[in-house]
Amino acid sequence: MQSPEAERWPLAEHSRIVRVRPHAWHVQQAGQGPDILLLHGTGASTHSWRYVFTLLTGSARVMAIDLPGHGFTRLGNRMRSSLDCVADDVAALCRAEGIAPALIVGHSAGAAVALRLVDRLGQGARVVGINPALKPFDGIAGTLFPMAARALAMMPGLTGAAARQMRDPSRVLSLLRGTGSEISTEQANLYARLFRDRAHVDGALLMMAQWKLDGLLADLSRIAAPTLFLTGSGDRMVPPVTAVQAAARMPDAVVESIDGRGHLLHEEDPGAVAARVLEWLYRGECGLSGAS
């Protein structure tokens, strides 16, 4: 990684830039064993996995990536931020890197990418979705929110203004408190650094503007990958019942709730999340069913 900012990023010693069309991807990889792929949610980056990543590398080869336009991944095409395009492009990255995930772990919108990705990779990967964002906005919000994100993303001046607003630490703290999670000051400062980055804000807005869940939701009954949804009982962004409803439509999915945790569950309690991820991985390695 070349910029001073990138060199100061968590786990920078495991970072590299990989150019697989159409994007220049920021990838962090370490460990030996079965492949685990970590996918963050909208507006986050690899930093959100820093503790889970370290806990997993003793048992697996772990790859965390910045999704298109997020963190240090640079967009090669501004029209490829939809769910299906992101899944296609992540699959191309995995193939180019020789990564065959035994387990794909996704947080929030990253969980939707994980569920789409298992079909693209076609190799029987298992899935862990942490507070999965699998419910479209209701009513008029479902129309207006993507339109607003699209308008912002198309106006560079407004994107820059949004990034400048995040120079106020109180705004960042207020946004993070809205997740229902309590995270360290250090982690909050990393989000603040991201939100002050115009390219990152632009990437997050493009994803929100192009995001549609209809196809994935219609396909839930055909997703055979053994899937574990982990939810935080205090999640204020994605109601935990969303995971319950999705699991009920899938052939091999279960839900586990962790009390007292919010939307950033994997950052609040990385030890509990890493333990459940490894249990789910090795349940598959031992050939056991995902049902419980």
Q: What percent of the chain has pLDDT over 90?
A: 74
pLDDT at 136: 81
Predicted confidence band at 139 (pLDDT cuts at 50, 70, 90)?
very low
The model's pTM is 0.91
pLDDT in tens, 204-213: 989 988 999 9
Residue 79 has pLDDT above 80, yes or no: yes
Residue 66 has pLDDT above 50, yes or no: yes
The tally of domains found in the chain comes to 1
CA distance 41 to 34: 23
Judge whether 170 and 164 are in contact, CB under 8 Å: no
Residue 15 lies in a domain: yes
Residue 1 has pLDDT above 90, yes or no: no
Residue 119 lies in a domain: yes
Judge whether 271 and 55 are in contact, CB under 8 Å: yes
Residue 197 lies in a domain: no
Residue 242 lies in a domain: yes
Count CB neighbours of 31 within 10 A.
18
Residue 248 has pLDDT above 80, yes or no: yes
Residue 131 lies in a domain: yes
- For residue 206, what are the contacts with CB-CB under 8 A and spacing of at least 6? 69, 75, 78, 81, 149, 153
What CATH number should be reported for the domain holding residue 240? 3.40.50.1820
Range of the domain at 113: 4-135+216-285
Residue 192 lies in a domain: no
Residue 32 lies in a domain: yes
Q: Which amino acid is at 94?
A: C
Q: 178 phi and psi, to 5 degrees?
A: -65, -10
pLDDT at 249: 98
pLDDT at 162: 58
Residue 167 has pLDDT above 70, yes or no: no
Residue 25 lies in a domain: yes
